[in-house]
Amino acid sequence: MRRASQYAALAAYIVFLAFPLVWLLSTALKTPQEMALADPTWIPREPTLANFTDAFGEQDLVGAAVRSLGVALASSVITVLISLPAAYAMARYRGLVNKIAIGWVLVSQVFPFILIIIPLFMILRDLELVNTLPGLVVVHVTFTLPFALWMLQGYVRAVPVELEEAAAVDGATRLRSIIKVVAPLLAPGVVATLLFAFISSWNEFMFALVILQNPDVMTLPLTLVRFTGPEGVARLGPLAAASLMATIPSLIFFAIIQRRLKSGLMAGAVKG
Amino acid sequence: MTATATRPAPPRRPHGRPRGISRKTREMWLLMLPALVPVLLFSVGPLLYGIGLAFTDARNTRNHETSFVGLENLWELLSAADFWSSFRIGMIWAVSVTALQFLAALGLALLLNENLRFRGVARVLAVVPWAMPPVVIGLMWRLVYHPDAGILNSLLGTEINWLADFSLALPAIIVVGVWTGMPQTTVVLLAGLQGIPKELYEAGEVDGAGRWRRFWNITLPQLRPVIVAITSLDFVWNINQFGLVYVLTQGGPGGQTRLPMLFAYEEAFRYRFAGYASMLGLAMAIVVLAVLGLYLWRQMREAR
């Protein structure tokens, strides 16, 4: 009896979690005629990929995807490059820096974005970086940095200090011991952080909305919203198709990283 | 800042010179520098500047003379009916999404912790919203709520324009908020559940405690720190929500879903009142900190 109610509850959850996804997929595969039916069908009678090709015709999806890819690649690589030494310092030297960094991670969560985005917009405007992709990269780097730092310092802590000390005893310089001993052990953590930063930037909407107002430079999330049209007239099929395509990189990321991300966060939390 | 961080540590290596700032501290700040510079320039700096703007009549336009106006923006804010309605909507949204998210996630986490069939399916599904771009989540739910081609009306046999209905729009977006935020809360609670020592349950069983008793007397108290942490974070994220609701309704109909951040965004980037919008942000930050402080304080007192 208890089992039965547990399965009923689990079924309810699965339906709640899955039905919007199934509907998205179903809409993406439908013909306009089928979509106009008074009684919508779950499984398309004549599945078609036309919406996927149409999507490219309606908006500059390829261009937007390329721009998003560029911004996400640049942001994630820069984020990791500058936070790696800082994370090493946080993990190995401790003390005040650590507390400040953790404090900043928390503050960056609590303060509403509007308090930062208005002055940031003014600064970027003075630097002639509004409506440019480098402007967005700057913003994405600063906003993924706290969390990237937090992840990376967890990974550095997981590398025993003794290994470095042993290398020092063997006569290796500090830099040499970092490159030869620490870096290889850190590689999986760096990959995880890189992917985290990449997806944060790829998905990001709010800052892009403020900084990029010219359609020629819009990233993928902004371009997707344009599918709903200025008067709210949505082309539902291509919209669903484009939405699915935009989700693919994130799904790949999660498939690769899920377990590692969790253990990395745990390491950071437990040893912090 | 450098001076306060200095700790006169004895030099480890014979050639280390303990003069002024130690070699170790210098090394540390050198390593921090590449991250410190952009953070100071593009987030700490702007944040302080933003707080300062709240006390000026700044306009978000080029070449506008800005002058200090003290608390004028605050008085204007407090006397604006628009602000209060937005504040009320924001509180309803944040409290109900946080609470529902927590209850749903706790239920799901308890189920996933049991040895049930299909829990693998549920586990994968439970993290999917995490992997989706928020904009796609918003667009996907617009398809679900669509008055003609949406599945919801067809399932319920209704003809409602959910996101444009004055009384239904807010509940409708709350459901989306819960759907979106559930994965994170579930994963955190599940990790918390798995950290509870099995011996406690065994001891409880020996003492003859039933399932409910064990839930109330073991699971909930053991889970308490995790619950406090995740509900506080969820509340902060929800009250600061912007993108999802922007995509769903843009604050409509008639401002019925205009969360405080959408209100601030409009003031700053449509009407260009930068100072006023900053004060709105600052006021919300203070409210959030106060609510959070009160909640954490009560939780801590009760836990003792």
Q: Is the pLDDT of residue B277 over 90?
A: yes
From B134, B141, B281, residue closest to A114, measured CB to CB: B281
B131: closest CA of chain A, how far (Å)? 5
B57: closest CA of chain A, how far (Å)? 13
Q: Is the pLDDT of residue B186 over 50?
A: yes
What is the mean predicted confidence (pLDDT) over A177-193?
84
A203: closest chain B residue by CA: B133
What pLDDT is attached to residue B266? Answer: 93
A89: closest CA of chain B, how far (Å)? 5
B228: closest CA of chain A, how far (Å)? 15
Confidence of residue A182 (pLDDT cuts 50, 70, 90): confident
Which one, of A154, A265, A248, A146, lies nearest residue A203 by Cα? A248
CA–CA separation, B1 and A264 (whole Å): 30
Q: Which H or E element spans position B153?
A: helix B151-156
What is the mean predicted confidence (pLDDT) over B293-300?
88
From B35, B116, B236, residue closest to A7, measured CB to CB: B116
Which one, of B126, B107, B113, B81, lies nearest residue B258 by Cα? B81
CA–CA separation, A165 and A174 (whole Å): 9
Chain-chain contact of B128 with A234 (C-beta, under 8 angstroms): no
CA distances for A164 relative to A159, A170, A171, A181, B9, angstroms: 9, 10, 11, 7, 20
CB contacts, 8 Å: A109 with chain B: 233, 236-237
CA–CA separation, B197 and B202 (whole Å): 9
B235: closest chain A residue by CA: A110
Confidence of residue A256 (pLDDT cuts 50, 70, 90): confident
Chain mean position to CA B143: 25
Q: Residue A27: left if φ>0, alpha if ψ -120 to 50, beta else—which one?
A: alpha
Please report the ipTM that was assigned to this predicted complex: 0.86
The answer, for A230 touching chain B at a CB cutoff of 8 Å, is no
B123: closest chain A residue by CA: A14
CA-angle at A167, arms to A162 and A171, nearest 5°: 140
pTM recorded for the entire structure? 0.87
- In the block, tokens 């700490």 appear at B44
Q: Is the pLDDT of residue B17 over 60?
A: no
A181 or A67: which leads in pLDDT: A67
Which one, of B297, B48, B303, lies nearest residue A107 by Cα? B48
From B132, B277, B292, residue closest to A118, measured CB to CB: B277
**Residue B16 in tokens:** 């280390």
**Which residues, numbered 72 to 91 in chain A, qualify as contacts with chain B under a Cβ-Cβ cut-off of 8 Å?**
81-83, 85-86, 88-90
CB contacts, 8 Å: B117 with chain A: 7
What is the mean predicted confidence (pLDDT) over A243-261?
77
CB contacts, 8 Å: A96 with chain B: 4-5
The answer, for A218 touching chain B at a CB cutoff of 8 Å, is no
DSSP 8-state assignment for residue A215: G
